[in-house]
Structures are given as structure tokens and as C-alpha cells.
Amino acid sequence: MKCIILAAGYATRLYPLTKNKAKPLLEVAGKPILNHIIEKVEKVDSIDEVYIVTNEKFTPSFQEWAVNYQGTKKISVVNDHTTTNDNRLGAIADIQHVLDQHEVDEDIMVLAGDNLFDFELVDFVHFYQEVNADSITTHELDDPEEMKRTGIVEVNEDGVVTSFEEKPEEPKSNLAVPPFYLYKAETLPLFKQYLAEGNNPDAPGYFIPWLIQQREVYAFTFEGLRHDIGTIDSYNKVQELY
């Protein structure tokens, strides 16, 4: 299994903090956000390589991080060659870029480089292996306003995703979908098909409502907190919590 960490954004909402530093390299509790994520990835034995996909501006920073990385996984920094927020590829196009550049033909785990989470990726992988199908993560939200700012899914009694809506005005459930996914090797060609059909390449969640029309996707519901670091306020909150 390969792991793709999405880190090609420009994080303009976090300026000036991210003017010259990639968001995943901002420190939380004395170490970069990326380190918190990689520590979880380290525990997944089946992952043998991690691709960090980033842009032209921040490629040197991630290469420097990779040189100092002390873990056991092979790290490859992939430059998508974009230079500004205006010409960015978008997360789904970045996934395709990695698949093309490295001719990936194995199962993949896709993670956002700016989310901190309590649950263990090992548990997610065990679930994925049991259902033997593409899988996403979900967790319950209590705040109706928060539900309107994220992807929301409905799931049947077997755990299969039956609907997905990004930032719904009227959420159909309280199950939010953070950006952590597992895809089977045979699903990988569908990324190219999705993009070729002219679908939105931006947020990784946009792929899910399209994918559930093609095949069954299962939802792994985790306990514990998840923090999406998108604004100065959310970054400060995470600093306090950690």
C-alpha cells in the first residue's frame, strides 16, 4: 500500500503564518503537523512508501523535512509544479499527478496534510481489509452549523455510503467525512475518468459522490476528535488543545 499526503495548497486563509511556510509544516506541540500524521502512518505495516504531493513553492521545504525524517517509511516529495493559489491543480488532480508520476498500481491511503486526529489509521486499515472495498472515514457531529461546512454522508445498515453532499444547506445526517480515504488498486483508473469527464478537481471529497455511483464505498466511523486546521482561529485552538 502507498500513502499520499495532500500538501499542495497555499493556505491563504492562514496568512501571514503560511506566507513562507507550508501549512503541514506549522508546529503544533513542538513539532510539525506532518509529524503528528506520519507517526500514525508509521504504525501501518502495509504502507511502504509515502508520497507528499506539494507545489513548486514548498517543494524545497518538504525535501528538507524528508532529509531529517527519522522513520522507517520511504518518503517521496512530489512537485505538482503549480506556483500560486490561482493555478493550483486541486487535490483530486494532485492524486492523479502522483499516480502518473510514480506509476502507482497498489492500494492507496489518501490523507490531508492539515488535519490532526485521535483515531489510529491501523484501525481504519483493518476495517478496509474486512470489507474489502474502497472506504472513507466518518465521525458524528453535534453542531448543525459545523455540519454545513463539511461533507455529510448517509450510510445504510451494512455500512455502505448511500449519499454524499459537500457543505449541505440541510444536512441529511450528522456523519461528517474528514479527508482520510482508502482506495483499492482497481479503483485508481477511475480518478482519470472522473477528471476526464470534467468533474471538480479541487477538494478530495468531491470524488466520493461520483464514486458511489460506480461501486460500493464503505464508511468507517471513528471515535474521538478531528481538527481541520484552516484558519488562524482553528490553528490557535489546536495549539491550546495539544
Whether pTM > 0.85 for this model: the answer is yes
Average pLDDT over residues 1-12: 96
pLDDT band at 212 (very low <50, low <70, confident <90, very high): very high
Q: How far apart are CA 58 and CA 29, in angstroms?
A: 22
pLDDT attached to residue 125: 98
Average pLDDT over residues 214-236: 92
pLDDT at residue 144 greater than cutoff 90: no
Average pLDDT over residues 4-23: 93
Q: Residue 78: in which H helix or E strand, if any?
A: strand 74-79
pLDDT attached to residue 214: 95
- Show the domains of the chain with their CATH numbers: 2-241 (3.90.550.10)
Is 80 in a helix, a strand, or coil? coil
pLDDT at residue 225 greater than cutoff 90: no
pLDDT tens digits, 52-102:
999 999 999 999 999 999 999 999 999 999 999 889 999 999 999 999 999
Average pLDDT value over all residues in the chain: 95
Q: How far apart are CA 151 and CA 185, in angstroms?
A: 24
pLDDT at residue 119 greater than cutoff 90: yes
pLDDT attached to residue 224: 87
Measured CA angle at 186 (ends 79, 73), to 5 deg: 45
Burial of residue 199, with CB atoms counted within 10 A of its CB: 0-12 exposed, 13-18 middle, 19 or more buried: middle
